[in-house]
Chain A
Amino acid sequence: MTDRADVIVIGGGVIGSAIAYYLTKERVKVSLVERGDIASGTSGACDGNILAIDKMPGYDSQLTLKSQKLLDELVESVDYDLEYAQRGSVLVVEDEKQEPVARDWFTRQKEAGLPMRYLAGREVFEDEPLLARDVIGLVECASDASLNPMALVYGLVEASRSTGALIRPFTEVTQILQDSTGAVCGVKTTRGMMSANQVVLAAGVWTPALASTVGVAVPIKPRKGHILVAERSPRPARRKVQEFGYLLTKFGGTEGRRVEAEMDQYGIAMVFEPTEHGNFLIGSSREFVGFDRRCNHHVLQLMARRALRFFPTIRDLHIIRSYAGLRPHTPDHLPIVSPVPAVPGLYIAAGHEGDGVGLAPITGKLMSEMIAGEPTSIATEPLKLDRFDK
């Protein structure tokens, strides 16, 4: 089998499928290759956030807002129920020590243009009555949303397929091929050769191994995250709730939280997400433990304990399932959406850590603009691969 396409996209997760979608929309001939089933890696083991509240105010949050606008269009144009709901989200402020940091975060996000509110004292419990009585504040972003991440991937893939993209699941790329000038000319797979003058690596945590086949170093590491799934029940909160300490575990500084040392060791912070089906998800953990996707029972136990600290009324509700996924981590918490200067025709779109679902639309759009040589929707300097050389 020799497929001929304009662009080969490697990776059938949310990033690869969004790239295939936006390229196909511009009438580019795309082949999407995936080692396993579509959405069987990180995109099948995550939650479905489109959040601006936890992004660094500035470029980071602007990128998310652009992506949210594109997602609004996708919800309308993709013929698939994405279970999209724009309920907003809140950060819970635990104590006086967190309050000034949280108020500062609120002010900076508001100045950056997000629809923010700060609730204190009684307002907290009028808003979310089942939160633990000792929490003292809520930071709200009204535009935050959620969806079913697997439905998003399948929706994007089906839309791409129906407009001409070639979808090749269960096809593993073993080598990126270069011509005599060093430019990309295709890929070698377990099901034969495929040729194209442009190849996009959108393989998340598996990107560095593929890039190394052409001698390119990519600083992405797998960061494992666990999630608990609760039975269908009346919701303990009406929208996404995260402890303010989540920002501390995300960006690395854990000072300011009064928790057992183990909570910090496993990067545990309470994240609550209601789903459209009446279940809710509880996160989160962050660990560098290689490519092991098995659930660690001890981490799950600590996560349940942390959830009860904020939602004491869920104590008798049942956990029906747990899973863990590998989030692609970069040293500066921004993804890589970039050409590879050393290998003409090769591009990378990976390293979104926990923001892949939210940033997939803008990533797909930017990649289609880069490949077409058009001006991009937002500056891409902060997303370049060579920023790590400096």
Chain B
Amino acid sequence: MEDDTIVCRCEEVTVEEIRKAIREGAVDVTGVKRRTRAGMGLCQGRTCEKIVTQILVQELQQPLSAFKQATVQTPVQPITFNLLANASHD
């Protein structure tokens, strides 16, 4: 992958920025996210999480199975303020 390839389209994070985050100590998808915003956008990592994991595999030279999925936080898909505020049941 080229350095300037965009991995996270929502937040426009490049391969190089992700590699830099790993050099600074990120060891998983969540660590990359906190340092670069990759996965913090509208799609919440649905598009980029697998690619970020592949870069972690390459850079840290560990098997794919060594990496956990990022922490899943509610909501599972975007929801409007109105719908959340006025939903009739939890």
Residues of A within 8 A of B (CB): 37-40, 44, 150, 154, 158, 167, 169-170, 229-232, 277, 295, 297-298, 300-301, 304-305, 307-308, 314-323
Contacts and interface: CB of A to CB of B under 8 A. Distances in A.
Contact of B25 (A44, A169, A314, A321): A169
A300 to B, nearest CB: 7
B66 interface: no
Nearest to A153: B34
Contact of A321 (B40, B82, B90): B40
Chain A binding surface SS class? mixed
A229 B10 CA distance: 14
Given A158-B24, A169-B25, A301-B85, A319 B78 contact: yes
A169 B28 CA distance: 13
Query: Which residue among B11, B35, B74 has the maximum number of chain A CB atoms within 10 Å of its CB?
Result: B74
Contact of A295 (B27, B74, B82): B74
A40 B25 CA distance: 12
Interface string B55-90: 000000000000000000111001111101111001
Q: Determine chain B's interface SS by DSSP, over half rule.
A: loop
Nearest to B45: A321
Contacts of A314: 81
B84 A304 contact: yes
Interface centre among A232, A297, A318 (most CB of B within 10 A): A318
A323 B80 CA distance: 17
26 contacts: A37-B25, A37-B31, A38-B25, A39-B34, A158-B24, A169-B25, A295-B74, A297-B74, A300-B74, A304-B84, A305-B85, A305-B86, A307-B81, A308-B82, A314-B81, A315-B81, A315-B82, A316-B80, A316-B82, A318-B80, A319-B79, A319-B80, A319-B81, A320-B44, A321-B44, A321-B73
A230 B37 CA distance: 15
A318 B74 contact: no
Contacts of A277: 11, 37
Contacts of B51: none
A167 B25 contact: yes
A167 B31 CA distance: 16
Interface residues of B, number: 28
B19 to A, nearest CB: 15
B84 A301 contact: yes
Contacts of B78: 231, 318-320
A323 B85 contact: no
B72 to A, nearest CB: 10
A37 B24 contact: no
A140 B73 CA distance: 34
B6 interface: no
Given A40-B34, A301-B90, A322-B73, 5 more contacts: A37-B34, A169-B25, A230-B81, A305-B85, A320-B78
A314 to B, nearest CB: 5
B74 A37 contact: no
Given A277-B11, A304-B81, A316-B80, A323 B73 contact: yes
Interface in B21-38: 24-28, 30-31, 34-35, 37
Contacts of A301: 84-85, 87, 90
Q: Which interface residue of A38, A44, A317, A320 has the most chain B CB atoms within 10 A?
A: A320
A231 B44 CA distance: 11
A230 to B, nearest CB: 8
Contacts of A37: 25-28, 30-31, 34
A322 B82 contact: no
A150 B30 CA distance: 12
Chain A CB within 10 A, most for which of B24, B28, B84: B84
Nearest to B21: A154
Given A37-B27, A231-B42, A317 B37 contact: no
